Amino acid sequence: MIRLLKFFGWSIVAVFCGLLLGLSGAFLYLSPGLPSVEALRSIQLQIPLRVYSSDNKLIAEFGEMRRTPIRFADIPPNFINALLSAEDDNFANHYGVDPSSLMRAATQLVKSGHIQSGGSTITMQVAKNFFLTSERSFSRKTTEILLALQIERQLTKDEILELYVNKIYLGNRAYGIEAAAQVYYGKSIRDISLAQMAMIAGLPKAPSRFNPLANPARSKERRDWILGRMYKLGKISEPDYTAAINEPLNASYHVPTPEVNAPYIAEMARAEMVGRYGSDAYTEGFRVTTTVPSNLQEMANTALHEGLMTYDQRHGYRGPESRLPGKTREAWASELTKQRTISSLEPAIVTQVDKNGLQVLTRTGEEHVAWDTMKWARPFLNTNSMGANPRQPSDVAQVGDLVRVQRQKDNSLKFSQIPQAQGALVSLDPQNGAIRSLVGGFAFEQSNYNRAMQAKRQPGSSFKPFVYSAALDNGYTAATLVNDAPIVFVDEYLDKVWRPKNDTNTFLGPIRLREALYKSRNLVSIRLLQAMGVGKTIDYITRFGFNKQDLPPNLSLALGTATLTPMEIATGWSTFANGGYKITPYIIDKIESRNGDTLFVANPPTVPQGGSATDGIAAPDAQSFTVNAAPVPGEAPGNAAVPQAPAVAERIVDGRTTYILNSMLQDVIKLGTGRRALAMGRSDIAGKTGTTNESKDAWFSGYNADYVTTVWTGFDQPESLGRREFGGTVALPIWMNYMSAALKDKPPHVQPEPEGLLSLRVDPVSGRAATPSTPGAYFELFKSEDTPPSVNELGNGTAPGSPLPADEQAPIDLF
């Protein structure tokens, strides 16, 4: 017996020595190729790109891996206990390798002939996750053991656990325990229950097999086993164990919920970040702060959505999206799962029609739609006509109709439909170009085409202020008379004739520029452009940032036949709002690293306070539009942004010109096509409507000194909005809705009056300086060098300041 014991004892010693020799040999053989454990201290885990509003509300998150690293000090002790109970209950005592676990794995290998478990400790898993592949081989396992031993020598237990819980994959694109808690419970790991912690602690072994969403039964079995281990090891009390075991498995899928609905803004920021950092933008944990306040963005969303739906319902009901009569309730419910909610419009299937309205099946169950919300739904015939008013709900819908409903604040449902017309809204700070809100269409989920940035459409009369600005800078005044009379242009070679006309097809004869602008007289704009010269005027207009190739080199330019985006129009209009300065729109205000280091701060050219109205006026060459064209300091992640000197915006128009033009555009609100905006009750707003031929595009651009906002409406494939639809009926109400909310409680804010202006009494008939006895005389603004002659000095020429002959109707060669 003694000999037998000695034999087993020496055998154990021999095996142990053999293991030591084997490990020593393996270390000598593999050590030259082992990675440096010190690299773990500076490891860069993949973290998604996050985009925020200017008031730090989440707009969007981009990246394949959902990960939010957490410090060890912030991990709840109960979770540490759950994890160690499940994965490595001897973690505190071993030095990276647990011999008992390895022996258990070896025994399983001998019995089954297959590697069933690797006997890995948490330290070994850290070595594998950070440095190795998942290959199952003895050489990989040996390397894993050697790395684990090195890790234990160089890192503390807390550091090892922190690396582990932030690296591991836990299913549903969640990497790390904080991301997993957010994905499965919508909470931080610090705020979930003991049972929920045990569920997450059970995932590292097999994220797919024990996933609570895909396999709830297996997940609960694994969770309960871990809770039992915790109780057996004395980590939790019996009451805690009992309560956790009895807690239902209440996991559900949570995606990062944006706090601000700004998908077009998010996409613009994402694209710019990829342009700066390439694919690293998705993995380096950048935090991007945009220039967009959440409240202004929500106002813009509401204004555009309500405006398009109001227009759409004004033209009637186009019928259900599809008809599903004779189907079972289960079939209807299945159909609803295939339909997306578009903006706030939910899909619903009509299950019953009665005199009080509709019973509809929504994703939440049976609900009622009141008849009062359906009375708008006259049958749509075309954009210019509709059928008779519906007399009862059955005139509108039938059982089996797939329709759209909109949930109201009291949770009731309103009958609706998805608009076919589209729109865009962009609002800028005219002092520095910061984008304050932007909506690129009715719904991003319907179409991610950003019409505010990409849709080149004809701006119509909303382009005329650029022609008038050129006139005011070339000797014309607001009191100059120009003939509003018919004119014909012919091309004798192509047998083409162009007879431009005013919207009302009337002619007013000689008319002051001020009145011509607020009445939007087309013939006056054409004569102005003709007198100044098309080429010279285009060279002037390009200073506002327009591309020359987008401006037609003929007299139709005066009517707004250029092809421009809403962003380009708003950018140009900013010069009118800020006193003559050029700004460049930008969307990213700040970029921070994963560690909170500031990598970039926007330094846009900004309108200076004070200064002469004519200082630094230049006429730069045409430039293409780019967002955030400022230089980018600190490109490489981890480099702090280099402070920059304040940039000053370039003055491109005489400040006196913009001041006079501003007063003329205010008259558009007071007396002209923008009179609806008087309902806002503000004295500081100015703007201009725009409507193209056959009402295919409807615009309104306007501003005060705080915001310049442009609204476009139309169909993606150009067609008429309707013969009674104009910029003042479709776009202006959207602009008013947004600007009323944006300027609420803000005092009037106008650009200061520059030096070098005179206010003189003028004869409204001749545009000349009035005498004390001139009837109807009014005060007009003039540059000091452009004061008009007296009535007695009238001449017969057609130079600026003189009336054109009323009978000027001779054909003129346009080409």
CB 439 within 8 Å of CB 301? yes
- Band (pLDDT 50/70/90 cuts) for residue 615 is low
Set 219, 427, 461, 462: catalytic member:
461
Q: Is the pLDDT of residue 108 over 50?
A: no
Q: Does residue 754 or residue 90 have the better pLDDT?
A: 754
- Judged on CB neighbours under 10 Å (0-12, 13-18, 19+), 723 is exposed
The half-sphere exposure of 713 on its side-chain side, counting CA atoms within 13 A, is 35
Q: Is the pLDDT of residue 15 over 60?
A: no
Q: Is the pLDDT of residue 440 over 80?
A: yes
Q: What are the start-end ranges of the E strands in 389-508?
A: 401-407, 413-416, 422-428, 435-439, 481-484, 489-491, 496-498
Spatial separation of the C-alpha atoms in residues 806 and 803, rounded to whole Å: 8
Q: What pTM was estimated for this model as a whole?
A: 0.83
Q: Let me know if 461 is a catalytic residue.
A: yes
**Residue 646 pLDDT:** 67
Task: Encode pLDDT of 572-593 as tens digits.
Answer: 999 999 999 999 999 999 999 9
Q: What is the DSSP string of 257-306?
A: PPSS--HHHHHHHHHHHHHHHGGGGGTB--EEEES--HHHHHHHHHHHHH
Q: Let me know if 725 is a catalytic residue.
A: no
The DSSP bridge pattern shows strands 686-691 and 401-407 to be: unpaired
Look-up: residue for tokens 């589209």? 422
- Band (pLDDT 50/70/90 cuts) for residue 813 is very low
Rg of the chain on CA atoms, in Å: 36
Closest to 62 measured CA to CA, from 212, 340, 272, 294: 272
User: Could you tell me the end-to-end alpha-carbon distance of the chain, in angstroms, rounded to an integer?
Assistant: 120
Spatial separation of the C-alpha atoms in residues 145 and 99, rounded to whole Å: 11
Set 87, 152, 568, 780: catalytic member:
87
- Band (pLDDT 50/70/90 cuts) for residue 491 is low
CB 696 within 8 Å of CB 714? yes
Is 50 strand, coil or helix?
Answer: strand
**Residue 619 pLDDT:** 44
Sheet containing strand 812-813, strands side by side: 496-498, 489-491, 812-813
**Residue 12 pLDDT:** 45
Q: What are the start-end ranges of the E strands in 312-450?
A: 322-323, 345-354, 357-362, 365-370, 380-382, 385-386, 401-407, 413-416, 422-428, 435-439
Q: Does residue 261 or residue 25 have the better pLDDT?
A: 261
What size, in residues, is the chain? 815
**DSSP state, 683?**
S
Q: What is the mean pLDDT of residues 519-527?
A: 94
